Amino acid sequence: MIQVIPAIDLIGGRCVRLSQGDFNRETCYDSSPERMALSFLANGLKSVHVVDLDGARLGAPANLDVLKRLSRIEGLEIEWGGGIKGREDVCSVLETGASRVICGTMAVRDPLLFKGLLEEFGPDRIVLGADVRGREVAVNGWTEGSGMDINALISSFLPSLKEVIVTEISRDGMLCGTELGLYMDLMSAFPGISLTASGGVGSMEDIRALAAAGVPKVIVGKALYEGRIKLEEIALW
Tell me whether strands 100-103 and 47-52 are parallel, antiparallel or unpaired.
Answer: unpaired
User: Do 117 and 90 touch, CB atoms closer than 8 A?
Assistant: yes
The three-point CA angle 67-68-73 to 5° equals 90
| 3-11/14-19 β-pairing | antiparallel
- 18 forms bridges with which residues in the sheet? 26
Q: Are 78 and 36 in contact (CB under 8 A)?
A: no
What φ, ψ does residue 177 adopt, rounded to 5°?
A: 100, 155
Beta bridge partners of 48: 78
Catalytic residues: 9, 131
